[in-house]
Amino acid sequence: MKKYLLLILALGLVQIGCKKNDDVVAPNEEAMENPKEEEEQIEEPQEEVNVVVQDFMWQTMNLYYLWQAEVPNLADSIFPTSDADEAAYVEFLSSEPDPGDFFTNKLLFSEDRFSGYSENYKDLTNFLAGVSKSNGLEFGLSLYGSGDDVLGFVYYIVEGSDASTKDIKRGDIFVGVNGVSLNLDNYQELLFGDSDTYTLNMVDIVDNTLVPNGKEITLTKEEGLVENPILVTNIIEEGAQKIGYLMYNQFVGGSGEQLNEVFADFKAQGVTDLVLDLRYNLGGSGYTAALLASLVYDTDESNVFYKDKYNAKIEAQLEPADFLNYFRSTTGTAFGNSDMPLNNLNLNKVYVLATDNTASASELVMVGLEPYIDVVHIGTTTVGKNQGSNTFVDDPENGNFYSPDRESEINPDNQWAIQPIIVTAENADGFSDYSNGLVPDIEFQEDITNLGVLGDPNEPMLARALAEINGSSTKRGFEVYMPVNLVSGSKLSNPLASKLIIDKTPETLKESIKAGIKE
């Protein structure tokens, strides 16, 4: 790693192209008299390709990528060990002039669904912290009818957003954008294209049929929208039972204190059961996942929450303790937390609402708790992301790990960031085989015709959980008239949305990097 970037920085820009008639020919008298007969001097323009970004990407992926051994282009032999090898290395880096294409086409394992990149690390780190450019409308997209028609249905509205000022709410349905009907071929461009403003064409449901109502909602995306990941909390009393309900929508690093306050209230009011609603939670910080699991179960820091499995190169440099992530007794000091004792409920069972919008850190909470308590999964099969990633930037002295305290050390000529998969997560029992998703204990689909009010005991999915808690599942029907046939959604449109962020970097690994892994 000591040699990192010295080669490319020394070379600067790689020039691609050649000249015709490079030899200079002295004009003769005949040519002077007949200029048309003079041989034309034709010079093709030279294309300059800056491969600093590609070098950063290759070096990082070669070291950390979970599937490094399965990708021929990431073989150690590609990196030059002598001056004679440098030209071949540079030629390889410049084979894809666009860094994004280089990352996708040259470095990714064929089965990798989740690694990604950003041209500006700030955009990525803001996104991971729950700050984004958004209109605040969170929605799903579902097929309907017998063809490729698509409808959108509103999950919820982010507080303080543009959508929160408009006449639109959970359960509302749209079938067009800017007067164009949505289908499989155009929804990406219409909803997630370059335009920051679009108008939704709304419909009503009458006798389970979509009927245009003439209503139009215009929404505009705004920079810097911060979503509170704790959308709804409630305590529902049924007989002698007090049932806590928490809808948590993203494992944001700085939300640990808020979660602890919610559980303090649950504990103070004598909550006996818990419904944890992760149906729209695509993941986030592994550190915060450990906090939430500890709040549900126990704060014994000798209990393993999950284990990391790295590639062979990394594992050879680690100590056994470096692979282990434990339950926690306090909020800790990461992400600005104040190291407060956790208000855990010490439950022996938890009811989790999880769907095909549930991934990564959410799945980890479910899997990580299973060796210790009964996890009752109500909903549909989850996304299936049993892997974790980290954010890397061009900061060789820190092993390219992103640290907000070291932004001044990031190469000013390279602001790209990559978010590659670097670990497989397994629970204390060694279980990690859920790449196809976690199958529910109780199958239950959301009904587009009846999404209900989140946190209300009559909201169908919550009502199903309450029926299970009370043993009264036969007291009411749970018919679904228009089940979700999910195509995409406001969160799923971003390939980096499904995430488990590995917040802990083993110190032995950092020391190895600083000592120079690549000499």
Please determine, for residue 497, whether its predicted confidence score (pLDDT) is greater than 80: no
Distance CA 471, CA 469 (A): 6
Lateral strand order in the sheet of 387-389: 283-285, 499-501, 387-389, 421-426, 304-309, 324-326
User: Of the ranges 26-35, 191-200, 474-483, 506-515, which is most confident?
Assistant: 191-200
pLDDT at 479: 82
**CA dihedral (222, 227, 232, 233) positive or negative:** negative
What is the band of 457 on the pLDDT scale with cuts at 50, 70, 90? Answer: very high
Lateral strand order in the sheet of 392-393: 116-118, 417-419, 392-393
With residue 176 as reference, give the H or E element that holds it: strand 173-177
pLDDT at 477: 67
Burial 378-389 (b: 16+ CB within 10 A, else e): bbbbbbbbbbbb
Distance CA 476, CA 482 (A): 18
pLDDT tens per residue across span 393-445: 999 999 999 999 999 999 999 999 999 999 999 999 999 999 999 999 999 99
User: In terms of Cα–Cα distance, which of 366, 399, 205, 204 is closest to 293?
Assistant: 366
Please determine, for residue 15, whether its predicted confidence score (pLDDT) is greater than 50: no
DSSP letter for 46, please. P
pLDDT at 132: 86
pLDDT at 473: 54
In the structure encoding, which two tokens stand for residue 46, read together?
Answer: 């030279």
pLDDT at 3: 43
pLDDT at 268: 97
Distance CA 272, CA 196 (A): 46
Average pLDDT of span 104-113 = 96
Asked whether 383 and 359 are in contact (CB, 8 A), the reply is: yes
Please determine, for residue 517, whether its predicted confidence score (pLDDT) is greater than 50: no
CATH superfamily label, 227-388+423-478: 2-enoyl-CoA Hydratase; Chain A, domain 1 (3.90.226.10)
Q: Lowest mean pLDDT of 18-22, 87-91, 460-464, name the range.
A: 18-22
Q: Where in the chain is the domain with CATH 3.90.226.10?
A: 227-388+423-478
Distance CA 260, CA 473 (A): 31
Q: Where in the chain is the domain with CATH 2.30.42.10?
A: 132-225
pLDDT at 50: 86
DSSP letter for 103, please. I
- The predicted model scores a pTM of 0.87
Strand partners, 219: 198
CATH of domain 132-225: 2.30.42.10
Share of the chain above pLDDT 90, in %: 75
pLDDT at 502: 78
Average pLDDT of span 303-332 = 93
Q: Which residue has the tokens 């930037």?
A: 393
In the structure encoding, which two tokens stand for residue 17, read together?
Answer: 């192209």
Please determine, for residue 235, whether its predicted confidence score (pLDDT) is greater than 90: yes
With residue 443 as reference, give the H or E element that holds it: strand 442-443
SS3 label, residue 354: strand
User: In terms of Cα–Cα distance, which of 385, 396, 339, 355 is closest to 501?
Assistant: 385
pLDDT tens per residue across span 192-229: 999 999 999 999 999 888 999 999 999 999 999 999 99
User: In terms of Cα–Cα distance, which of 18, 74, 88 is closest to 47?
Assistant: 18
Please determine, for residue 20, whether its predicted confidence score (pLDDT) is greater than 60: no
Mean pLDDT of the chain: 88
Distance of CA 20 to the CA centre of its chain: 49
What is the band of 168 on the pLDDT scale with cuts at 50, 70, 90? Answer: very high
